[in-house]
Amino acid sequence: MSEKGRLILAINPGGTSTKLGLFRETEQLFEKNIRHLPEELGKFETTFDQHEFRKEIILNTLTEAGHDISGLTAVVGRGGAFKPLKSGTYRVNRKLVDDIREGTTLQADHPSNLGALLAFSIAEPSNLSAFIVDPVCVDEMIDEARLSGLPSLPRISLSHALNIRMVAYKAAERLEKNLDEINLVVLHLGSGISVNAMRKGRMIDTSQANDGGPFSPQRVGALPTTGLARLCLSGNYSWKDMKRMLLKEGGLFAYTGTDHVGEAVKRAEKGDKIAELALRAMVYQIIKEGGAMAAALHGDVNAIVITGGIAHNRWITDRLREGLGFIGEVIIFPGEEELEALVRGVLRVLDSVEEEKIYD
């Protein structure tokens, strides 16, 4: 390690933005949230096609801020919805790059898929190492959790694994334990909500924000099965219509017309009964799912960990603390520190705290 410490560039591509962070060890030196206009991204047919566009903007942004990538130790990108992988830090190799480009192993067309490509294409010309950390597709579910009740529709593991494991490490530090010594129920509360059972560092089950669990600001969560089937077969909706309804315009938005929890809370506090009921129902479903994951851990739970953007809202967290506190200590880490999580994952490998994972 140099006297000043290792310099790491972290890249987190999202649906309408690309977040950058430049870190000296764990100290953040520079951060930029680059917004992309709908008309800019609308030019591209797929998310993959945005790669060169986003890469150029990243390099230009760094140059304008006076940062030279030649001094980097590594580049790390958010991992996407690839084939099922174990948790950990993976070096981006040619096999992963080729699989993303071919699209044969992708479980979803998601902006996070670009993280590995962006890290690799920026690192390779300078002979730097490129990594991904705890990708969306982390799959450590126990076998029992995979059966849905219909063999043709197995339950799959897609979650906010990066932030979930980040706060799990933080919770372990607070409890003065190693992560592999404790059991946690972790609630990630964002536009999508995933509730996870973590047994000694392994995510044995997740509610999968797109396909089950509680409804969220935008997503419907678990629905009455036969009613959903009738809706799909009614002839009134295309797949595009259904996808928008289920993942973008469901949940809190469907009941209140807003997906902003803070706005819904303001309405409720001013006497809006519909907003209040929708919020209470969302909290109720989160509590139920948290209890289910505690049961999956046989009641042996060291702490309930609450994270994500909604964890900033006391109206929500106070009620979750009240509803889940009987299970164990409730620890709250508001927000999504995904850039820091990416960097810490790389440092764990560089410092030989964890072994680097191989994508094959």
Same-domain pairing of 345 and 329: no
Residues 211 and 233 in one domain: yes
**pLDDT at site 2:** 45
Tell me: do 223 and 294 sit in the same domain. yes
- Report, as ranges of residue numbers, the positions in the chain whose pLDDT lies below 70: 1-3
Residues ≥6 apart with Cβ < 8 Å to 228: none
CATH number at residue 285: 3.30.420.40
Name beta bridge partners: 21. Answer: 10, 31
Residue range(s) defining the domain that contains residue 27 = 7-140+338-350
Q: How far apart are CA 344 and CA 348, in angstroms?
A: 6
Structure tokens at 77: 């990108």
Residue 105 and residue 86 in one domain = yes
| 342 lies in the same domain as 316 | no
Based on the fold, state whether residues 94 and 176 are members of the same structural domain.
no
pLDDT at 39: 86
Q: How many domains does the chain have?
A: 2
The full DSSP string for 164-231 is HHHHHHHHHHHTTS-GGG-EEEEEEESSSEEEEEEETTEEEEE--TTTSSS--SS---S--HHHHHHH
